[in-house]
Every structure is written in C-alpha cells, then in structure tokens.
Amino acid sequence: MSDDRIVETHTESPAWMLPAVVVLGLIAIGGLAFGWSASSKLDATQQSVTAQLKSTQQAVQQDMSSLKDRLAQDEKANTDLQGDLKVVTDKLKITQGQLKKARQEAVKLNDATTEKVTALDTSVHSELATKATSDDVKTVDTKVVGVKTDLDATREDLKMARSEMGTLIARNHDEIDQLRRLGERDYVEFTIASRNKPEKVGNVTVELRGVNEKRNQFSAAVTIEDKRFEKKNRAMNEPIFFYLSGTHIPEEIVINKIGKNSVSGYLSIPKANSQTAAAATKSGS
C-alpha cells in the first residue's frame, strides 16, 4: 500500500497589495465624503434659490397688486374728471346761452328806446306844426327836455359794466333803481356791519368773513338751501353767481361798497326764478 502524500502549496500575496487596498479604501471614503459634501451644498444652494425665487415671486405679486390698485385709482380719477368736465361743459353751454340772450335783450332795449324817441320826436313836430303859440312851444320844449333826460338815463343804463353772464352791475343805489325800472329782476339791498354774524338777505344767508379795504376786497360765506360755500378775496363789483334748485338763471350777489369792517351791496333775483319758486310752492302745497 503506497503512501499518498498531500503537498500543500502556499501562495503568498505580494507585499504591495495591502497598502493598495488601504489606499483604494481611503480614496473611496474620500469620494463618498466629497459626494456627500457636494450633495449638501447642492441642497443648500437649491433651497437658497427656491427661497429667493419665492421671495421674488411674492415681490412681483405685491408689485402687480399695487399696480392694479393704482390702475383702479387712475380709472376712478379719470371717471371723476370726465364727470366734472361734463358738468363744466353743461354749465358753459348755459352761460353762453344766457350771455347771448342778455346781449340780444340789450340790443332790443336800445332799439326800443330809439323807436320811442323817434315816435315822440315825430309827435313833437306835429304839435309844433299845429300849435304855433308860444305857450304851446314852451310845453313841447318841456316834453322834449323830459324825453332827452329819459334817453340820457337809458343810455347811462347801457353804459353800466356787465358781468360774464351779461347782467348789468349797479355801483350804487341810484343805479340799482335804474335796474329796477327795467323790470327784469328783483333787487334786495343790504349792509353787513360786522364780521362772522350771518344775516338773512332775501332767500340766502350772507356772512362777512374778512375785509381788505385798501385793495377793495372781501371774503364772505354764503348759505344757499342749507349749502354753505366761501368766496375769498373777491373784488368790489365782482358778482357772485349761484343757482337755486329747479332754476336755470343764476342769482347774483354784488358788493359795491367796502368799509373798515362792513360791506354793502345787493342780491339780484331774476323774475323767472321768483315765478319758478312760487310755482314750486303752489304745487308742494
């Protein structure tokens, strides 16, 4: 029986393999650490970009909201301006119409006066032709003088200053009486002798707020149908126009005398307004 021998062969690893494995392990660990660090930085960068994007988006939304609000305000302001422009345009049309009417009435008044003088002159000549006595001539001369006086007064009426509405402006009591004789308006004269004391004048209330006697200026508050408005630094003989409800012709207040702490003037009320107010009172009752 033969002996079987087992021969064991030992293969030794090269000496450089272990350090190589260690180095490769360290490189792998370093790569993992670098990858983790890069991943963390990437996440942080992504979060920062996301936060900035969100902040920018919110800022843009706020700017859009603010822009929409400003646009809405501008549209509202534009609508209000269009409404005011329409009101002013309508008032201007009324004013132009009234001014044209006033001019026409002034021309008619002048023509009517001329016709009366012409007719009377013809009558005077007829009387002179039929009555040749000295007494008759004296009587006719007296009539002629009277007619000339009336004509001069009428011409003086036409020389009065006119407002932008075409109305004549009286500078004193005598001129107010001349305007009364025309019969187109009612006139209420008044004097306010102290400041800050409202006084009833016709259908309005007037309160003297201040006086500048050197510059012939005044400031006043006027209350019309429970609505109060102030007029500051108005000149003497400068009309203050206002409309009452249901009327189309303005009333006017004129201050034609300014004292130390007092003013005098008149309220001018168109006859048409008086009739309208009377009709409204009658229908209301």
Residue bearing the bigger pLDDT, 183 or 26: 183
- For the chain, give the mean pLDDT: 77
Question: Is residue 31 pLDDT above 80, yes or no?
Answer: no
* pLDDT, tens only, 46-74: 788 788 888 888 887 888 888 888 888 88
Which of 9-23, 148-162, 208-222 has maximum average pLDDT?
208-222
Tally helices (H) and strands (E) across the chain.
4, 8
Q: What is the pLDDT of residue 110?
A: 64
Instruction: Give per-residue pLDDT as tens, 92-119.
Output: 666 676 767 767 776 776 666 667 667 7
* pLDDT score of 189: 96
What pTM value is reported for the model? 0.45
Query: DSSP class of residue 10?
Result: -
pLDDT at 193 over 50: yes
> Which is more confident, 48 or 235?
235
Q: Is residue 80 a contact partner of residue 143, using CB atoms and an 8 Å limit?
A: no
The residue written with tokens 């305007």 in the block is 179
pLDDT at 1 over 50: no
Query: Mean of the pLDDT values across residues 136-140?
Result: 54
Instruction: Report CA-CA distances (Å) from 265 to 44, 117, 172, 179, 251.
Output: 85, 33, 8, 14, 14
Residue whose token pair is 């890069």: 38
